Amino acid sequence: MPPASLYWRSPSFPALHFQDDQTHLPVMLLLHGVTRHGGDWTLLLPELRRHWRVVLLDHLGHGKSDRSAAGYHVVDYAKLTAAFVRDTFHEPIVVVGHSLGAMVALSLAADCADQVSHVVLEDPPFHTMGENISMTPYRDLFIGMQAVARANGGVDRRAQMLAEVTVSTATGPARLGDLRDEQSLRFSAECLSHLDPEVLTCVIAGKWLDGFDYESLWLRVECPALLLQADPTSGGTFTDADLTTALPLMQNLKHVRFEGTGHQIHGTHPKRFVQEVLDFSRSHN
């Protein structure tokens, strides 16, 4: 049987909501991407829970975590999550992050070095979703998602709205409903029903990474790191230029590229994703 997870709120203000298995296994903290929540990792949990005490965190402004009047820049998420790690865990943990979560995980590995034993970075977007976002399909996507998050109605209504969002593709404009299946649209709609729409304001404006010097963080990470890169030609956000910067700076970095796979690696290839994480962890134990 799966562990009986407990739900908590951090003592910080604003408070973060998290789900904790409360087993005696080593801790793995899972950090989701922007517009999502901890439920994004559901497909991976049965296997991960065989090896780790899994903790699922909702980022600020997402899921059941508090909203913020001060803004939602990457540095805000990183600072609040670092405080959560310091207050909650008393021995080194494994941190796995996707997208926004990967950028926060990188920051944790540098700023909470004594509390992070391993870090897994899944397709961190950096300036693909930062100052360069206007050159990508993501700006139109997030404009549409923000409208859905602001709308009234339940999941069905929001899923219908999402399906009508138009995004750019290599072959021209397309409806999101023609690019994603119904299950994916409904999950996104459910996540957006619990999202503060202001989360996306600085993302759309290209200001999300203001104050976040990620290139300096590579140098400060001493723990083993696994970098899972999606294919930039298939919607991946971690660019080959980012890789060229990171590889010489990281002391203990393993890089794996998922050819032909878009930004959601763990959703597209959950079994391979878990196996890569397991192999990486075992090789450093």
Q: Is the pLDDT of residue 10 over 90?
A: no
Q: Which residues of 55-94 are buried (b: 16+ CB within 10 A; e: fewer)?
A: bbbbbbbbbebbebeeebbbbbbbebbbebbeebbeebbb
Handedness of CA 225, 231, 234, 237 (dihedral sign): positive
The token duo for 177 is: 């409903």
Q: Is the pLDDT of residue 280 over 70?
A: yes
Question: What Å distances lie between residue 126 and 81, 137, 146, 163, CA to CA?
Answer: 18, 15, 20, 27
The token duo for 150 is: 């602001």
What's the mean pLDDT in 16-34? 95
Task: Measure the CA–CA gap between 254 and 140, rounded to whole angstroms.
Answer: 33
Contacts of residue 171, defined as CB under 8 A and 6 or more positions apart, other chains included, come to none
191 against 8, higher pLDDT: 191
Task: Measure the CA–CA gap between 120 and 233, rounded to whole angstroms.
Answer: 22
The order of strands in the sheet holding 116-122 is 6-9, 17-20, 53-57, 27-31, 93-98, 116-122, 225-230, 253-258
pLDDT value at residue 5: 62
125-180 pLDDT tens trace: 999 999 999 999 999 999 999 999 999 999 999 999 999 999 988 888 999 999 99
Contacts of residue 172, defined as CB under 8 A and 6 or more positions apart, other chains included, come to none
pLDDT value at residue 1: 46
The token duo for 284 is: 């450093």
Amino acid at 16: L
Question: By C-alpha distance, which of 244, 204, 209 is closest to 78?
Answer: 209
What's the mean pLDDT in 206-214? 97
Amino acid at 187: F
The segment(s) of the chain belonging to CATH 3.40.50.1820 are 6-130+208-283
Task: Measure the CA–CA gap between 107 and 214, rounded to whole angstroms.
Answer: 8
Question: By C-alpha distance, which of 70, 77, 69 is closest to 99?
Answer: 77
232-277 pLDDT tens trace: 999 999 999 999 999 999 889 999 999 999 999 999 999 999 999 9
- Local structure of 121: helix, strand or coil: strand
Contact present, 61 and 86 (Cβ < 8 Å): no
89 against 9, higher pLDDT: 89
Q: Is the pLDDT of residue 3 over 60?
A: no
Task: Measure the CA–CA gap between 16 and 12, rounded to whole angstroms.
Answer: 7
What's the mean pLDDT in 190-197? 98
pLDDT value at residue 8: 77
Look over the chain and give the mean of its residue pLDDT values, rounded to a whole number: 94
Pick the CATH number of 6-130+208-283 from 2.30.30.90, 3.40.50.1820, 3.30.470.10, 3.30.750.24: 3.40.50.1820
What percentage of residues in the chain have a pLDDT greater than 70? 98
Q: What angle do CA 60, 7, 151 make, to 5 degrees?
A: 45
